[in-house]
């Protein structure tokens, strides 16, 4: 009986096609699946799509489609991309599937039977215009979509008694210190739970596009109760539950580390063993996301550099668990230095020597003891690092072995040994055996990370056992058979010229964006203009919405505990002075401001800053160094005058 290893990625929202942020989690999941399989585990990977909710309902409406027709297209696009990247996904679970709906209702029934669900009144902010619940908004907050004020609504919902689980969750985190990793996330979650948990509204009666609560029309399940259950419904009846690992991005830790175990405890079901939250991939300094328009897609990289180049970069360059930056320059740089020069060079050099000096057959030898020992410790430490999700550390260890072997070959100078008679021949054979054995071991160790290219090197080395069935935990020095014929030798990582490859990837990126936009109809926003080329154009009507006025500063004082803020009262020519909080304290002393005429945005939604409600915003230029410079007039202007 094989041990099982069940792992998941988040199920992705279907409001956009996948970018390398989504690919990041899915690639790491694929790597872990391969790594576990190569240690004899029966590893199963679930990913999928999170399809319900008002946002999807509305996006479908805008595209002139039914919600299901809309999500069909995007879910298929995700699935297709994972296939194209060669990711070994076992289950692509869609939350719109009837089978999933049944499992969600089962979970609900179990929680309800155990007394953890009750009907109550939900009070929250809601945008009537957008038909949107605005989570975490306070009365008066604007709708994030349209900016209109939200309304406070009260409706009957089902609630989950999350408040009953604080102690049990804290016990869980204490008992299983690795339940949430990395440590920083665990601390965050524990601090949050210690503050006390409030009950959770888990249904809505105002949304149509959701899983109906059986026998409780018009209630449908609301986001997380539905979405998290996909991890279980995907493997229903397969004996895979509980999950050994949920891989997630750091922004959804609370849902996974608090809600999810609480739901399962309430239902009397087994808990996942580990949750690992990785950091964000940043592009041009901020989190890659569709709404920011700063996304990079995996497909152009795959086409120009191969999928292994992307996998290697993500795993080696970004410390798993921390944020990391993506750039095309760094991608090409890593590829050339570590893959073309490092691994690729050692493999082709070794194989070429075997061809040249030993007629293409692996010579007999025992190998250099120091390198053999280093290979043994490298395998052990890489396996240990990977088991702890320290991928870059594990890869560094393998690269240390590769460069030690390179150095050893140079020291041995095989090309001179040939001329040294029988003794020289024996030394040459041993050198070649050492190099080939390192290539074999490194190739096997790297197979989970670089599946395409290691398969090629493996074949060139003349190995007949399928690479995927090699047991990493049973790798040992000396398993390479003398006399084995090597295959055709061909470079696996040709050097890449950044000047050619990067423009090519950028061009393909545009093509890909256009293809996806066409695929989704009117559903995708046009790509945001890059900041350097100026902001998107607006119409005169857009501008007319901004009420800019001349105002005079009446009083100014610092805001306690906030270095940048000043608390101002201003005269805008209205009956009463207004209060305003401005982030200009580092550039202006309060006394410089009193009496001064400034420009303000008079019709901005009020905002609370440090407990002070700010009614408007002061207009200033943002100059290099980040200091604001107040807008003003050379001529005298009356207070209250409108800028047009
Ligand atoms: N649907 C929810 C998850 C429900 S799971 C039961 C969701 N979907 S999402 O489409 O927004 O995907 C979020 C996940 O995508 C992140 O947690 C992370 O795994 C991945 N990433 C999306 N953008 C990313 C980056 N820029 N960087 C790294 N990972 C990113 O949240």
- Across the range 587-592, mean pLDDT stands at 86
Which atom number of ligand 1 is nearest to the Cα of residue 251?
Answer: 17
Give backbone dihedrals phi and psi of 331, rounded to 5 degrees, phi first: -60, -50
| Mutation probe of ligand 1 site: the residue of 16, 19, 21 with most atoms within 8 A of C-beta | 21
Return the pLDDT at 532. Answer: 36
Distances in whole angstroms, Cα of residue 468 to Cα of each of 52, 383, 389, 440, 450: 37, 16, 20, 13, 12
Ligand 1 midpoint to CA 18 (Å):
10
Best substitution site from 7, 8, 9, 10 to test ligand 1's pocket, by max atoms within 8 Å of Cβ? 10
Pocket test of ligand 1: the residue of 252, 291, 317 to mutate, having most ligand atoms within 8 Å of its CB, is 252
> What distances in angstroms separate CA 574 from CA 173, 564, 599, 605, 640, one per listed residue?
56, 27, 15, 17, 7
147-206: per-residue pLDDT in tens?
Answer: 888 889 898 999 999 999 999 999 999 999 999 999 999 999 999 999 999 999 999 988
CA distance 213 to 521: 31
Of 249, 257, 279, the one to substitute when testing ligand 1's pocket (max ligand atoms within 8 A of C-beta) is 249
Q: Is the pLDDT of residue 412 over 70?
A: yes
The predicted model gives 551-572 an average pLDDT of 88
DSSP of 421-481 = HHHHHHHHHHHHHHHHHHHHHHHHHHTTT-HHHHHHHHHHTT--S-GGG--GGG--TT-SP
Structure tokens at 270: 């087994």
Are 377 and 371 in contact, with CB atoms under 8 Å apart?
A: no
Query: What is the number of H-type helices and E-type strands within the chain?
Result: 22, 25
Nearest CA to ligand 1 atom 23: 21
Which protein residue has the closest C-alpha to ligand 1 atom 5?
10
**Ligand 1 midpoint to CA 279 (Å):** 10
The residue whose CB lies within 8 Å of the most ligand 1 atoms, and thus the one to mutate among 25, 71, 296, is: 25
Distances (CA, A) of 132 to 404, 524, 560: 60, 19, 36
> Tens digit of pLDDT for each residue in 468-512?
999 999 999 999 999 999 999 999 999 999 999 999 999 999 999
Q: Whole-number mean pLDDT of the chain? A: 92
**According to the model, what pLDDT value does residue 376 have?**
98
- CA of 25 relative to ligand 1 center, distance in Å: 8
Residue 318 confidence class, pLDDT cut points 50, 70, 90: very high
Direct distance between the N- and C-terminal alpha carbons of the chain, in angstroms, rounded to an integer: 77
Asked if residues 224 and 215 have their Cβ atoms less than 8 Å apart, the reply is: no
- Evaluate whether 77 touches 38 at the Cβ level (below 8 Å): no
Distance 411 CA to ligand 1 centre (A): 49
Ligand 1 mean position, distance from CA 24 (Å): 10
Residues 6+ apart with CB under 8 A from 321: 181, 182, 276, 277, 278, 279, 389
Alpha carbon nearest to ligand 1 atom 7, residue: 12
Query: What digits encode the pLDDT tens for the residues 382-406?
Result: 999 999 999 999 999 999 999 999 9
Q: Which atom of ligand 1 is nearest to the CA of 279?
A: 28
Closest ligand 1 atom to residue 16 Cα is: 10
Average pLDDT over residues 442-471: 97
Q: How far is the CA of 58 from the centre of ligand 1 (A)?
A: 21
Q: State in Å: Cα 110 to ligand 1 middle.
A: 28
User: Ligand 1, atom 16: nearest CA belongs to which residue?
Assistant: 249
* pLDDT at position 8 over 50: yes
Dihedral angle computed from the Cα positions of residues 573, 576, 577 and 581, in that order, rounded to the nearest 10 degrees: -120
Which residue's C-alpha comes closest to atom 19 of ligand 1?
249
Task: Tell me the angle at which helices 260-267 and 98-113 cross, rounded to the nearest 10 degrees.
Answer: 70
Contacts of 200 (CB under 8 A, 6+ apart): 159, 160, 162, 259
Element holding 214 (H helix, E strand)? none
* pLDDT, mean of residues 16-41: 96
* Long-range own/partner contacts, residues 191-194 (CB < 8 A, 24 or more apart): 192/254, 192/258, 193/166, 193/169, 193/258, 194/166, 194/170
User: What are the tens digits of pLDDT across the range 324-369?
Assistant: 999 999 999 999 999 999 999 999 999 999 999 999 999 999 999 9
Residue 541 pLDDT class (50, 70, 90 cuts): confident
Expressed in angstroms and rounded, the spacing between residue 405 Cα and the centre of ligand 1 is: 40
Spacing, Cα 552 to ligand 1 middle (Å)? 47
CB-based contact 453:444 (threshold 8 Å) = no
Tell me what the mean pLDDT of segment 397-422 comes to: 95
Q: Where in 65-116 does DSSP place strands (E)?
A: 91-94
Q: Which ligand 1 atom minimizes the distance to the CA of 12?
A: 10
* Ligand 1 atom, smallest distance to 25 CA: 19
CA of 248 to the centre of ligand 1 (A): 7
**Mean pLDDT, range 582-594, rounded to an integer:** 86
Q: Measure 391 CA to ligand 1 centroid, in angstroms.
A: 20
Ligand 1 atom closest to 50 (CA): 1
Residue 212 to residue 221: CA distance in whole angstroms = 7
Residues with a CB atom less than 6 Å from ligand 1: 10-13, 21-22, 24-25, 50, 227-228, 248-249, 252, 280-281, 287-288
Taking residue 629's Cβ as centre, other Cβ atoms within 10 Å add up to: 12
Question: What distance in Å separates the CA atoms of residue 475 and residue 380, rounded to the nearest whole number?
Answer: 10
pLDDT of 590 above 50: yes
* Residue 249 Cα to ligand 1 middle (Å): 6
Q: What does the pLDDT read at residue 369? A: 97
Q: Residue 535 has what pLDDT?
A: 60
Ligand 1 center to residue 247 CA distance, Å? 10
Task: Output the CA 342–ligand 1 centroid distance in Å.
Answer: 33
> Taking 80 as the threshold, does the pLDDT of residue 293 lie above it?
no
Nearest CA to ligand 1 atom 12: 12
Q: What is the DSSP string of 367-431?
A: --HHHHHHHHHHHHHHHHHHHTT-HHHHHHHHHHHHHHHHHHHHHH-HHHHGGGHHHHHHHHHHH
């Amino acid at each position: 009986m094989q041990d099982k290893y069940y792992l998941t990625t988040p199920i992705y929202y279907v409001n956009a096609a996948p970018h390398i942020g989504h690919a990041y989690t899915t690639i790491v999941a694929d790597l872990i699946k391969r790594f576990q399989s190569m240690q004899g585990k029966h590893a199963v990977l679930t990913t999928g799509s999170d399809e319900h909710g008002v946002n999807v309902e509305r996006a479908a409406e805008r595209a002139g489609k039914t919600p299901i027709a809309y999500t069909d297209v995007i879910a298929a696009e995700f699935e297709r991309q994972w296939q194209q990247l060669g990711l070994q996904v076992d289950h692509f679970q869609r939350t719109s599937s009837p089978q999933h709906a049944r499992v969600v209702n089962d979970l609900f029934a179990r929680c309800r039977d155990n007394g953890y669900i009750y009907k109550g009144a939900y009070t929250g902010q809601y945008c009537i215009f957008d038909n949107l619940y605005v989570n975490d908004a306070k009365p008066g907050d604007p709708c994030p979509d349209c900016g209109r004020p939200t309304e406070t609504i009260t409706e009957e919902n089902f609630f989950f008694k999350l408040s009953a689980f604080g102690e049990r969750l804290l016990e869980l985190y204490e008992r299983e210190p690795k339940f949430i990793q990395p440590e920083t996330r665990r601390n965050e979650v524990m601090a949050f739970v210690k503050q006390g948990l409030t009950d959770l509204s888990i249904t809505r009666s105002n949304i149509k596009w959701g899983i109906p609560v059986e026998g409780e029309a018009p209630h449908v399940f609301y986001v997380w109760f539905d979405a998290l259950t996909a991890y279980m419904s995907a493997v229903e009846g397969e004996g895979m539950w509980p999950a050994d690992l949920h891989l997630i991005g750091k922004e959804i830790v609370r849902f996974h580390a608090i809600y999810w175990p609480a739901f399962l405890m309430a239902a009397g079901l087994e808990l996942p063993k580990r949750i690992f939250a990785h950091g964000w991939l940043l592009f041009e300094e901020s989190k890659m996301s569709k709404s920011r328009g700063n996304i990079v897609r995996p497909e152009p990289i795959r086409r120009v550099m191969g999928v292994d180049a992307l996998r290697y970069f993500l795993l080696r360059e970004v410390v798993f668990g921390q944020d990391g930056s993506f750039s095309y320059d760094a991608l090409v740089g890593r590829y050339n230095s570590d893959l073309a020069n490092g691994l690729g060079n050692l493999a082709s050099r070794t194989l070429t020597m075997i061809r040249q000096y030993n007629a293409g057959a692996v010579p007999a030898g025992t190998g250099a003891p120091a390198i053999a020992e280093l290979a043994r410790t490298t395998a052990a430490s890489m396996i240990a690092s990977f088991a702890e999700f320290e991928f870059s550390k594990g890869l560094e260890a393998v690269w240390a072995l590769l460069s030690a072997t390179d150095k050893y070959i140079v020291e041995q100078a095989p090309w001179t040994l040939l001329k040294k008679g029988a003794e020289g021949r024996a030394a040459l054979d041993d050198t070649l055996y050492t190099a080939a054995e390192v290539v074999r071991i490194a190739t096997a160790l790297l197979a989970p990370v670089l599946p395409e290219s290691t398969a090629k090197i493996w074949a060139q080395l003349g190995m007949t056992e399928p690479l995927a069935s090699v047991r990493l935990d049973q790798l040992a020095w000396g398993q390479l058979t003398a006399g084995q014929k090597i295959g055709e030798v061909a470079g696996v990582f040709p050097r890449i010229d950044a000047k050619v490859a990067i423009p090519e990837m950028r061009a393909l990126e545009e093509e890909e964006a256009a293809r996806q936009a066409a695929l989704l109809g009117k559903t995708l926003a046009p790509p945001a203009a890059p900041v350097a080329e100026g902001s998107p154009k607006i119409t005169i009507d857009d501008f007319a919405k901004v009420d800019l006025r001349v105002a005079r500063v009446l009083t100014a004082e610092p805001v306690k505990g906030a270095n940048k803020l000043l608390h101002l009262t201003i005269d805008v020519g209205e009956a009463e002075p207004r209060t305003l909080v401005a982030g200009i304290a580092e550039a202006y002393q309060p006394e410089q401001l009193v009496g001064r005429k400034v420009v303000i945005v008079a019709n901005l939604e009020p905002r609370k800053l440090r407990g002070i409600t700010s009614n408007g915003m002061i207009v200033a230029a943002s100059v290099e160094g980040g200091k604001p410079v107040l807008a003003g007039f050379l001529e005298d202007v009356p207070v209250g005058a409108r800028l047009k």
